[in-house]
Amino acid sequence: MQLKESSDVLTSRANALVKQMTAVRKSARERRENGTFFLEGARLCADAAISGTVVLVCLYTQEAAQKYADRLAAVLSCAEKTQRISGELAGYLSETQNPQGVFCLCRMRTPQTRIDPTGKYIALSDVQNPDNLGAISRTAEALGASGMIVEGGCDLYNPKAQRASMGSLLRLPIVQTQDLAALLEECRQNGMRTYASTPDADALAVTQADFSGGAVCVVGNEGAGLRDALLQSCTRVTIPMRGRAESFNAAAAASILLWEMMREAAR
């Protein structure tokens, strides 16, 4: 598909739009205050546009228009503003070693508030690493989880998290909370089972947990794990380990927990 190119090419880092996109890319505060976020890459930007994300601005290079014509077309057809930029400016805007030359400024999603009492959810408490956050959302979507619950931790719209999620953070239902303990109590009152992941050997093996109905399984901070209040209010589950490692990476643990949760649901 042949795209119509703009007659002018933006080259200046001092341009107001470039400054705005750079600020949003770098700062969680800027994202929160403006309700916008930054995406990079032909596939991720196209996935966002196709899934209904509001694209306010799309900047792209001549090379991207030729190399990623079909994907870029999906973005340009719905973007409120489009602008061709130079390859040098693309290198300035990019966080990757080999920029594809497609960048979008998007509007944040409307926050989710409802939890399906019959659903299966992975909950994250203070997960800080954006790669972990993105990977967990990708696994949750791939395995068919009902959604993800997030308390604190990494900004959902961190560019690294968005890239690691491959678009899942823009499609998967996500409920954000400042009080996970209270939300879990509400889930229990609605008939859901709540589980807290721990490396403690005396906890219930996750392979023995009952995931036949609505359930939430909580994963904690990469270093500190889960705080005592959450561990005490939920059924503690552990992933049996035979090797010498003391624990799993947060993303690996969440993947195993999700697999067990969704495997039980498929029986």
Per-residue pLDDT band for 245 (boundaries 50, 70, 90) equals low
CATH class of 120-266: alpha beta
Q: Which 8-state DSSP code applies to residue 169?
A: G
What does the pLDDT average to over 146-173? Answer: 96
pLDDT digit string, tens, across residues 52-92:
999 999 999 999 999 999 999 999 999 999 999 999 999 99
Task: Tokens for 256, please give them.
Answer: 């195993």
**Arithmetic mean of pLDDT, 43-60:** 96
Confidence bin at 6 (pLDDT 50/70/90): very low
CA-CA-CA-CA torsion sign (232, 233, 235, 241): negative
Please return the burial class of 75, using the count of CB atoms within 10 Å of its CB with bins 0-12, 13-18 and 19+. buried
What are the structural domain ranges in the chain? 16-107, 120-266
Q: How confident is the model at residue 3 (pLDDT cuts 50, 70, 90)?
A: very low
pLDDT at position 199 is 86
pLDDT at 267: 59
**How far separated are the first and last CA of the chain, in Å rounded?**
45
pLDDT at position 4 over 50: no
For 41-184, strand residue ranges (E) read 55-61, 81-85, 102-107, 120-125, 147-151, 174-177
Provide the sign of the torsion angle of the four alpha carbons 46, 108, 164, 259, taken in this order: negative
Would you say the pTM of this structure is higher than 0.85? Answer: yes
Beta-carbon-side half-sphere exposure of residue 177 (alpha carbons within 13 Å): 18
CA distance 164 to 142: 13
Non-local (6+) Cβ contacts of 182 within 8 A are none
Q: Is the pLDDT of residue 225 over 80?
A: no
| CATH architecture of the region 16-107 | 2-Layer Sandwich (3.30)
